[in-house]
Amino acid sequence: MTALLITLLAPVFGAFALAVVRPLRVAGWLNVAVSSVTFAATAVLAWAVAATDEIAGFSFRVDAFNVYLVVLTAFVGLTTSIFSRPYMRHVCETGMTTERGMRIYHAMYQAFMFTMLLALTTDNLGVLWVAVEGATLATVLLVSLYRTPEAVEAAWKYFVLCGVGIALALFGTVLTYFAAQQVIADPAEGLTWSILFQQASALEPSVMGLAFVFLLVGYGTKVGLVPMHQWLPDAHSEGPTPMSAVLSGLLLNVALYAVVRLKMLVDGSLATTASPHMAGQLLMGFGLLSFLVAGLFLHRQRDIKRMFSYSSIEHMGLMTFAFGLGGPLATFGALLHMLVHSLTKSAIFITVGHAAHIAGTQTIDRIRGLIRTQPAVGWSLLLGVAAIAGFPPFGVFTSEFLLLTATMQVQPWLTVALLSGLVIAFAGLFRHLHPMVYGPAPEGQLPVAANMLPVLLHLGLVLWLGLAIPSFLAGWLDRATQLITGVHLL
Amino acid sequence: MIMSAALSLVLLAVVLALASSAASLFAARTPTVIRLLAMPLFCLAGMAALAGGLSALLNGDAITATLPLGLPWLPWRVQLDALSGFFLAIIGVVSFAVGIYGPAYVRGFEKGRDSLVALGGFSGLFLAGMMTVVLAADAFLFMVAWEVMSLSSYFLVAFQHDNAANRRAAFLYLLMAHVGGLAILLGYGVLASFGDGFAFDAMRAATLSPAWASVAFALAFLGFGMKAGLVPLHAWLPEAHPVAPSHISALMSGVMLKVAVYGFIRFVFDLVGELQWQWGVAVLAIGCISALFGVLAALMQRDLKRLLAYSSVENLGIIFIGLGLALLFLSTGHSLPGVLAFIAALYHALNHALFKGLLFLGAGAILHSSHERDLEQMGGLLRRMPWTGFLFLVGCISIAALPPFNGFVSEWLTFQSALRAWQFDSGVLRSLVPIASAVLALTGALVAATFVKVYGVAFLGQARSRHVRHARAVPFGMRAGQAVLAALCLLMGVIPTGVIGALNAIPEQLLHSGLPQAVSHNWLSVNLAASNSASYSAPLVAVLLALIVAAVVWVLHRGPVRRVRRCDAWDCGFAPPGNRMQYTATAFAQPIRRVFAHLFLVDEAVVPRNDGGQRYQLTIGDRTWGIFYLPVARWVEAASRRVVRLQSGNVRLYLGWTLLTLLVLLWIIS
Amino acid sequence: MDHLLNAAAPVAAVLQAMLYAAAAPLLVGWIRKVKARLQNRRGPSVLQPYRDLRKLLAKEVRVAHTASPLFRAAPYIVFAATWLAAATVPLLAVNLPTAALADIIVLVGLLALARFFLALAGMDVGTAFGGMGASREMLVSALAEPAMLMAVFTLAMTAHSTNLAGVIDFQLSNEFALRPSFMFALGGLVLVALAETGRIPVDNPATHLELTMIHEAMLLEYSGRHLALMEWAAQIKLLLYGTLIANVFFPWGIAQSFAAGALGMGIAAVAAKLLLLGAALAIGETVLAKMRLFRAPAFLNLALLLALLGLLSHVILEVGA
Amino acid sequence: MSLVSLPLLQQFLLVLAALVLFTSFVLLSQARLVSAIHAFAWQGGLVAAVTGVVAVAGSSGHLYFSALLTLVLKAALIPWMLHRLIRRLELERHVESLRWPAIVNMVAVILVIFSYWLVLPMVQQELAFTRNIVAISLAVVLIGLWMMVVRQQAVAQVLGFMSMENGLFLAAVSATAGMPLVVELGVAFDVLVAMVLFGVFFFQIRQSIDSLDVDRLNRLTETVDEEADLEFSAAPRRPHTVTARPAAVEEAE
Please judge whether D232 and B590 are an interchain contact, meaning their C-beta atoms are less than 8 angstroms apart: no
Contact with chain B for residue C303, Cβ under 8 A: no
Contact: B172, D232; criterion CB under 8 Å:
yes
Confidence of residue D224 (pLDDT cuts 50, 70, 90): low
Question: Position D107: which residue type?
Answer: V
Residues of chain B with Cβ-Cβ distance to C169 below 8 Å are 532
Q: Is the pTM of this model over 0.95?
A: no
pLDDT confidence bin for D123, thresholds 50/70/90: low
Give the number of C-alpha atoms closer than 13 A to the C-alpha of residue B224, restricted to the C-beta side.
27
The residue ranking higher by pLDDT, A312 or C264, is A312
Closest chain B residue to the Cα of A427, Cα to Cα: B175
Q: List residues bridging with B344 in a β-sheet.
A: none
pLDDT band at C292 (very low <50, low <70, confident <90, very high): confident
Instruction: Give the A window 33-72 contacts with B, CB below 8 Å.
Output: none
Q: Percent of chain B, pLDDT > 90?
A: 53
Cβ <8 Å between D244 and B615: yes
Interface contact B189-A214, CB threshold 8 A: no
Cβ–Cβ of B167/A392 closer than 8 Å?
A: no
Residue B181 lies in a domain: no
Residue type, D229: D
Q: Does residue B123 carry a pLDDT above 90? A: yes
Tell me whether residues A167 and D165 touch, CB distance under 8 A: yes
Q: Kindly report the three-state secondary structure assignment for every residue of chain C.
A: CHHHHHHHHHHHHHHHHHHHHHHHHHHHHHHHHHHHHHCCCCCCCCCHHHHHHHHHHHCCEEEECCCCHHHHHHHHHHHHHHHHHHHCCCCCECCCCHHHHECHHHHHHHHHHHHHHHHHHHHHCCCHHHHHHHHHHHHHHHHHHHHHHHHHHHHHHHHCCCCHHHHHHHHHHCCCCCCHHHHHHHHHHHHHHHHHCCCCCCCCCCCCCHHHCCHHHHHCCCCHHHHHHHHHHHHHHHHHHHHHHHHHHCCCCCECCCCHHHHHHHHHHHHHHHHHHHHHHHHHHHHCCCCCHHHHHHHHHHHHHHHHHHHHHHHHHCCCC
Domain boundaries, chain C: 2-317
Residue C291 contacts D, CB cutoff 8 Å: no
- Nearest CB among D245, D247, D251 relative to C293 is that of D251
- Does an interface of 3+ CB pairs under 8 Å exist between A and C? no
Q: Determine the residue of chain C that is closest to D252 in CA distance.
A: C294
Phi then psi for residue D22, to 5 deg, are -55, -45
Q: Tell if the CB–CB gap between D168 and A154 is shorter than 8 Å.
A: no
**Is B77 contained in some domain?**
no
The answer to whether the bond into B232 is cis (omega within 30° of 0) is yes
Distances, alpha carbon C86 to alpha carbons B41, B575, C119, C234, in Å: 50, 39, 20, 11
Confidence of residue D246 (pLDDT cuts 50, 70, 90): very low
Please give the single-letter amino acid code of residue B313. Answer: V
Indicate the pLDDT class of residue D43, thresholds 50, 70 and 90: very high
Question: Does residue B393 form part of some domain?
Answer: yes
For residues A188 and A146, is the Cβ–Cβ distance under 8 A?
Answer: no
Residue B52 contacts residue B77 (beta carbons within 8 Å): no
Q: Please check whether residue C102 touches B, CB under 8 A.
A: yes
> Does pLDDT of B400 surpass 60?
yes
Q: Taking the CB of residue D104, how many other CB atoms lie within 10 A of it?
A: 18
Q: What's the pLDDT tens digit per position in B621-668?
A: 888 888 888 898 999 989 988 888 888 888 888 999 999 999 999 888
A425 interfacial to chain B (CB closer than 8 Å): no
Domain-located, residue B496:
yes
B452 with C304: Cβ contact below 8 A: no
% of chain B residues with pLDDT over 70: 96
pLDDT band at D244 (very low <50, low <70, confident <90, very high): very low
The verdict on C297 touching D (C-beta cutoff 8 Å) is: no
Name, in order, each residue with C-beta under 8 angstroms of C173's C-beta and a sequence gap of 6 or more: none
pLDDT at C4 over 80: no
Query: Could you tell me the residue range of the domain that residue B500 belongs to?
Result: 278-515
Which helix (H) or strand (E) segment holds residue B618: the answer is strand B614-621
Shortest Cα–Cα distance, A432 to chain D (Å): 9
Chain D residue closest in CA terms to A135: D190
Yes or no, beta carbons of C101 and B525 under 8 Å apart:
yes
**Which positions in chain D touch B666 (Cβ < 8 Å)?**
114, 118
* pLDDT at res. D30: 83
- Chain B environment of D145 (Cβ under 8 Å): 655, 658-659, 662
Contact call for C116 and B397, based on CB within 8 A: yes
To 10 degrees, the CA torsion angle through A355, A359, A362, A364? -90
- A188 vs A135, more confident: A135
**Closest CB to D251 among C128, C131, C294:** C294
Q: How wide is the angle at C-alpha A130 spanned by C-alphas A126 and A132, nearest 5°?
A: 115
What's residue B528's pLDDT? 65
**Which residues of chain A make contact with D127, given a CB cutoff of 8 A?**
182
Average predicted confidence (pLDDT) for chain B:
89
Domain assignment present for residue B16? The answer is no
Distance from the Cα of D83 to chain A's closest Cα (Å) equals 20
C-alpha span between B115 and B158 (Å, rounded):
11
Nearest neighbour of B650 by CB, restricted to D218, D237, D251: D218
**CB–CB contacts below 8 A, C to D:** 11
pLDDT in tens, A68-96: 899 999 999 999 999 988 888 888 888 78
- Mean pLDDT for C124-151 is 89
Buried b (16+ CB within 10 A) or exposed e, A352-385: bbbbbbbbeebebeebbbbbbbbbbbbbbbbbbb
Three-class SS of residue B429? helix
**Subunit partners of chain D (3 or more CB pairs within 8 A):** A, B, C
Q: Return the closest-CA partner of residue B354 out of B483, B210, B168, B174.
A: B483
Are D220 and A126 a contacting pair at CB < 8 A? Answer: no
| Residue D223 to chain C, least CA–CA distance (Å) | 56
Q: Which chains touch B (3 or more CB pairs under 8 A)?
A: A, C, D
DSSP collapsed to 3 states, chain A: CHHHHHHHHHHHHHHHHHHHCCCHHHHHHHHHHHHHHHHHHHHHHHHHHHHCCCEEECCEEECHHHHHHHHHHHHHHHHHHHHHHHHHHHHHHCCCCCHHHHHHHHHHHHHHHHHHHHHHHECEHHHHHHHHHHHHHHHHHHHCCCCCHHHHHHHHHHHHHHHHHHHHHHHHHHHHHHHHHHHCCCHHHCCEHHHHHHHHHHCCHHHHHHHHHHHHHHHHHHHCCCCCCCHHHHHHHHCCHHHHHHHHHHHHHHHHHHHHHHHHHHHHHHCCCCCCCHHHHHHHHHHHHHHHHHHHHHHHCCEHHHHHHHHHHHHHHHHHHHHHHCCHHHHHHHHHHHHHHHHHHHHHHHHHHHHHHHHCCCEHHHCCCHHHHCHHHHHHHHHHHHHHCCCCCCHHHHHHHHHHHHHHHHCCCHHHHHHHHHHHHHHHHHHHHHHHHCCCCCCCCCCCCCCCHHHHHHHHHHHHHHHECCHHHHHHHHHHHHHHHCCCCC
C-chain CB neighbours of D250 within 8 Å are 211
pLDDT in tens, A34-79: 999 999 999 998 888 888 877 877 788 888 888 889 999 999 999 9
Phi, psi of B529 (to 5 degrees): 55, -120
Say if B165 is an interface residue toward chain C (CB within 8 Å): no
Cβ contact, residue pair C129, B572, below 8 Å? yes
Residues of C in contact with D252 (CB under 8 A): 294
pLDDT at D179: 77
CB atoms within 10 A of CB B429: 20
Could you tell me if C176 lies within 8 Å of chain D, comparing CB atoms? no
Enumerate the residues of chain B whose CB falls inside 8 A of the CB of residue D243.
Answer: 580, 609, 613-616
Which of C 5-34 lie inside 8 A of B, CB atoms? none
Q: Is B224 on the interface with C (CB under 8 A)?
A: no
Is residue D241's pLDDT more than 70? Answer: no
Within a domain: residue B47?
A: no
Beta carbons of D251 and C128 less than 8 Å apart: no
Better-predicted residue by pLDDT, A273 or C50: C50
d(CA B183, CA B143): 11
Cβ B665–A282 below 8 Å, yes or no?
A: yes
Cis status of the peptide bond prior to B404, with omega within 30 of 0: yes
Considering only CB atoms, which chain A residues are within 8 Å of D220? Answer: 150, 153-154, 157, 233-234, 237-238
Q: Do chains B and C touch (3 or more CB pairs under 8 A)?
A: yes
CB of A398 within 8 Å of a chain B CB? The answer is yes
Distance from CA of D237 to the nearest CA of C (A): 25
Residues ≥6 apart with Cβ < 8 Å to A472: A50
Q: Is residue B535 part of a domain?
A: no
State how far the Cα of B118 lies from the Cα of B130, in Å rounded to an integer: 18
Q: What is the ipTM of this complex?
A: 0.88
Specify the number of domains making up chain B.
Answer: 1
Residues of D in contact with C128 (CB under 8 A): 245, 247
Residue of B nearest to A300 (CA): B640
Integer CA distances (angstroms), B108 to B30, B114, B157, B487, C218, in order: 15, 11, 17, 26, 40
Backbone angles phi, psi at B69, to 5 degrees: -130, 175
DSSP H helical segments within B470-597, as ranges? 476-494, 496-503, 505-510, 517-521, 538-556, 585-595
Question: Is residue D90 less than 8 Å (CB to CB) from chain C?
Answer: no
**Residue contact C161–B533, C-beta within 8 A:** yes
What residues 179-198 of chain B have any CB closer than 8 A to a CB of chain C?
A: none
- D-chain CB neighbours of B374 within 8 Å are none
A219/D contact by beta carbon, under 8 A = no
